[in-house]
Structure 1
Amino acid sequence: MHRNNDLHTFLLTRARQLTEAWYNSIDKSKASGVYSSSDPNVIENLKKQNFEFHQLFCEVFIIDKETFNKRLDDWVLTIAEDKQHLETPTHNIIKEFMRVRNQYLDFVNEFAQGYQDHNIFDQMRMWEDIVIESFDRAMLRFMELQNQVVESQIQSQQQIIHELGTPLISLNEDTALVPLIGNIDPTRAKLILENTLQQCVQKEVSYLFIDLSGVVMIDTMVAHQLFQLIDALELIGVKPILSGLRPEIAQTAVQLGLNFDNLTITSTLAQAITINSKAHP
């Protein structure tokens, strides 16, 4: 049986020693990220995180596996989300996990040497297996959870970039402009449709200029989505006015059989604004 209250107490009373010995043994000349920081606040927080880990990890010898793994996952997630650790190469973090694991193996060996039991060697091997298994899980979960955190951040950043890439600019109380610039892929086209409709409703837009002069080329799928936007705008009572339509894009639209009959189209944005101002002074 791997559970042992005496071993738990032995390790717990050495938790602070483990933290200080670990931090002092970091080779600052080769360390990077959080481990190389000279900021007192960063160092204090790093030691605090390490100490909290020791307080938690000692419980592997007194509580059931399911409860321990849940608590371990909670701690690992705080490290995976930590800004300083996110700026630290993953291989350096794994290296420190491994160094701390060796600390535990040394202390288990020290405890076993002073333990009076004829089965102590079998017990020691069991405790060592538990330490190795638990650290392996911690390292694996760290990589999984940090990957999830990074992926979530990337998605959020992409969302912001897409939203910034399709700004709806108010020109007056009922007229707005959407200047489209750069490459438009299907994902961005979908966001343009959703964001534009939402902002038109929020800002009570009646006339919307859609300027395509900054778009060099779009494929048939994207062209179809853009003209879906035009149809959707008309459904919510917004008059779309298209400008800067390049010949290549117009050709794609014609090939798709899109209807231009009720759509106001001009060569430039300036012409579009002029025509609209004359029609709706």
Structure 2
Amino acid sequence: MRKWDKLQYETTAVLNSFTDNVFIADTDLKLVWMNEAAEKLISKFTHHIKVSDPEELIGIDLTKMHGKETRFLRVMTKHELPYRATINIFDGYVADIVISNLETKEGNHYGYLLFWRDVTTEEKRKERDRALIEELSTPVLPSVLDNTLFVPLIGNFDENRMEHLKETVLHEVVRRGSDYLIFDMSGIRAMENNSMIAQFHNFNETVALTGVETYFVGFTRDLVKSFIAGGVKVESKSFPHYRQAVLHILKQEGLELQKAANKDKNKNRKNKSE
């Protein structure tokens, strides 16, 4: 077991008992010690950091490993400690890190303690959850008409959701060969800013380039005000309710809805005339 002369044996034993990764650097930010868990971690990434053994890292300048333009160097230079962050390292490894000062009982600074906790699995689960939420919050649904898609928009829209909306809608329009697209705006609470409204307008124009006719239903008073404030004029036809948009599309297609009872009466009349 390696020892650092500023650490007592008992302290080293305690740090080696941790399942999380512990690194210690001196005041010049040179790595002087790591616990056994950290050694195992480094062993997985030796091909990235160009060493054959974790031991080779002892004495290395940590600023060279992190780079001079990283947040790590700025934090250490300005001494903004303790510092906490979640970082992505190699091969999708994600860690919660904490950097703290090491001081003697008299308050003399003699190094830094770097604590890394592996949260890769947790972050992957969060990413899956976020992707699922995005899918559920931006559904693209078939309607009663085979060539028409219905897109109910729900909640708040920021740049990420707007981008996801674009990708999802354009993919489904092409995949299904749709002719019409109905956006239901009644569930939108807010857009992040006027630029989001402009992006939505541009997206609508992009969809139109595919030959798809777009319609809007359920514009709330507040959303209309937001569009006006953003200087955006919606050229597509809009309706108060989804049913009215469907009826309009039926008319465009030369179709109409008819009650089943009326169909039976017409059929009986036709049979009698024959």
Q: TM-score, normalised by structure 1?
A: 0.50
**How far off is 1:250 after superposition?**
1.2
> 2:166 maps to which residue?
193
The 1:69–1:160 alpha-carbon spacing in structure 2 relative to 1, beyond 3 Å, is farther
**How far off is 1:257 after superposition?**
2.7
> 2:202 maps to which residue?
228
| Alpha carbons 1:193, 1:225 under 8 Å: kept | no
| Alpha carbons 1:212, 1:245 under 8 Å: kept | yes
- Equivalent of residue 67 in structure 1, options 52, 56, 59: 52
1:183 aligned onto 2:156? yes
- Equivalent of residue 165 in structure 1, options 121, 129, 137: 137
| Alpha carbons 1:244, 1:267 under 8 Å: kept | yes
> 1:260 maps to which residue?
234
For 2:199 and 2:164, the matched residues in 1 are separated by: 10
> 1:154 maps to which residue?
126
- Equivalent of residue 224 in structure 2, options 250, 255, 259: 250
For 2:244 and 2:138, the matched residues in 1 are separated by: 21
| Alpha carbons 1:190, 1:225 under 8 Å: kept | no
Match runs of 1:33-112 below 5 Å: 66-69=51-54
The 1:226–1:90 alpha-carbon spacing in structure 2 relative to 1, beyond 3 Å, is closer
- Say which structure is richer in helix: 1
| Alpha carbons 1:216, 1:246 under 8 Å: kept | no
Segments of 4+ in structure 1 off by > 3 A? 147-153
- Equivalent of residue 212 in structure 2, options 231, 238, 259: 238
**How far off is 1:164 after superposition?**
2.1
| Alpha carbons 1:242, 1:265 under 8 Å: kept | yes
The alignment partner of 1:237 has SS state of: coil
For 2:222 and 2:194, the matched residues in 1 are separated by: 11
For 2:128 and 2:54, the matched residues in 1 are separated by: 29
| Alpha carbons 2:151, 2:183 under 8 Å: kept | yes
| Alpha carbons 2:216, 2:239 under 8 Å: kept | yes
For 1:203 and 1:266, the matched residues in 2 are separated by: 24
- In the comparison of the two structures, how many residue pairs are matched? 181
- Say which structure is richer in strand: 2
For 1:221 and 1:260, the matched residues in 2 are separated by: 15
Superposed CA RMSD in Å reads: 4.7
- Gaps spanning 5+ residues in structure 2: where? 2-16, 18-36, 44-49, 56-89, 99-112, 256-274
| Alpha carbons 2:139, 2:152 under 8 Å: kept | yes
For 2:159 and 2:149, the matched residues in 1 are separated by: 23
- Gaps spanning 5+ residues in structure 1: where? 1-6, 8-25, 27-49, 57-64, 71-76, 92-135
> 1:216 maps to which residue?
189
1:273 aligned onto 2:249? no
Q: What per-residue deviation string (whole Å, max 9, x for no partner) do you get for residues 56-108 of structure 1? A: 8xxxxxxxx921239xxxxxx99x79xxxx9xx999xxxxxxxxxxxxxxxxx
> 1:110 maps to which residue?
none
The alignment partner of 2:190 has SS state of: coil
The 1:153–1:265 alpha-carbon spacing in structure 2 relative to 1, beyond 3 Å, is same
Query: Identity percentage over the alignment?
Result: 21
Amino acid at match of 1:195: T
